Amino acid sequence: MDWPSLDYDQWSATCDTLHAHTQVLGKLAVALAPPEPQLQHTALRLTARGWETLPLPAPDGSGALVVTLDLRVHEALVEHSDGRTGRVPLTPDRAVGEVTGELLAKVRELGGDVELDLTPQEVWWSVPLDEDAEHKSYDRGQVAAYFAMATRAALVLADYRAPFRGRSTPVNAWWGSFDLSVSLFSGEPAVPPARDFITRNAMTAQEVAVGWWPGSPKYGKAAFYAYAYPLADGFVAGGLQPAAAHWEEDLGEYVLDWTDVVASPDPHACALSFAGSALQQLCAVCGWDPALAASARGNPPPIG
């Protein structure tokens, strides 16, 4: 079970519920965290417990709050820097709206009032999170398998990012698209492709993004992915490792399916080779400074 595999079609109902719960954490980060470029202040982290916010300023000025979806004990946890806590169980057949209401009550009890726009983002449903009675599937075994997969993926992404000498993000957990990703930046600006709030704020710099998702209606399999923005004119896909990796035209991204990773003799090395080869290919076709691409290969090494 070190590298488990979970069929998206079998767990999509629980996946949607868990995704909705992460959106509540993301909304809190949007409301409370100091704004950063590329919307980095809105990103969550995958920790040894599950999905977590960074320390957020308590609305009443009393200290900091951290909100966690603890996927080991299956509860939403609010912790204040003064030691106070509040817990909300995550159980089968408990609607997202009920969990959301109770969780926000704990936040307000520990840290003061906060106003949120609870309209879900980047998903196929539109019912506000505190009114959502539809999403209530929560299979603890499936959540545990997902968490084990996500943890393995996060370790690959951290390994891939480590030697890079340019500006980069941590391993972000994105609650809108429900994926994990690392962005490496060339240092050059970029013109956002659209004017909606997310795009005009997130896509303002030339980047290569490599990440992992557990499956979605758009691509119904867990997979690693990679893309560049902006992608060079006349781009021709190629140069990937391992052989199972491919260009997914409908997504405009390189993809390596999780099943191919798990089937390899060394899954971590397999996924890492995909991330590294995608970066080198995308840096080459997009005209990045060769020294940045070389640093991602460990030249010079990050530690002398």
pLDDT in tens, 154-187: 999 999 999 999 999 999 999 999 999 999 999 9
Residue 62 shares a structural domain with residue 99: yes
> Left if phi > 0, otherwise alpha if psi is -120 to 50, otherwise beta: which for 74?
left
Phi, psi (rounded to 5 degrees) for 246 = -155, 165
Residue 71 has pLDDT above 80, yes or no: yes
Residues 96-112 have a mean pLDDT of: 98
Residue 146 shares a structural domain with residue 114: no
- Side chain identity at 157, as an amino acid letter? L
What is the structure's pLDDT at 235? 83
Contact 241, 270 (CB under 8 A): no
The answer as to whether 71 is a domain residue is yes
Residue 197 has pLDDT above 90, yes or no: no
Residue 206 has pLDDT above 60, yes or no: yes
Contact 37, 187 (CB under 8 A): no
Residue 49 shares a structural domain with residue 161: no
Residues 6+ apart with CB under 8 A from 273: 241, 242
The answer as to whether 304 is a domain residue is no
SS3 at position 213: strand
**Domain membership of residue 203 as a residue range:** 140-296
What is the structure's pLDDT at 225? 98
Residue 155 shares a structural domain with residue 279: yes
Residue 67 shares a structural domain with residue 25: yes
Token couple for 25: 């954490």
Phi, psi (rounded to 5 degrees) for 56 = -110, 140
In the chain, beta strands by DSSP E:
45-46, 50-52, 56-57, 64-70, 75-80, 85-89, 172-174, 179-189, 205-213, 223-229, 246-248, 253-257
Residue 113 shares a structural domain with residue 62: yes
Contact 43, 30 (CB under 8 A): no
**Model pTM score:** 0.96
Domain finish residue from 102, 131, 160: 131
Residue 98 shares a structural domain with residue 149: no
The answer as to whether 248 is a domain residue is yes
Separation CA 51–CA 25 (nearest Å): 8
What is the structure's pLDDT at 234? 76
The answer as to whether 302 is a domain residue is no
Separation CA 240–CA 191 (nearest Å): 27
Residue 1 has pLDDT above 70, yes or no: no
Residue 103 shares a structural domain with residue 159: no
Domain finish residue from 131, 156, 182: 131
| Exposure string over 49-60, b if 16+ CB within 10 A, otherwise e | ebbbbbebebbe
Residue 20 shares a structural domain with residue 71: yes
What is the structure's pLDDT at 238? 83
* Overall number of domains in the chain: 2
Residue 170 shares a structural domain with residue 100: no
Phi, psi (rounded to 5 degrees) for 205 = -140, 150
The answer as to whether 59 is a domain residue is yes
Domain finish residue from 75, 100, 131: 131
The answer as to whether 126 is a domain residue is yes
The answer as to whether 208 is a domain residue is yes
Q: Which residue matches tokens 């999509």?
A: 12
Long-range contacts of 268-271 (CB under 8 A, 24+ apart): 268/152, 268/155, 268/156, 268/159, 270/242, 271/153, 271/156, 271/224
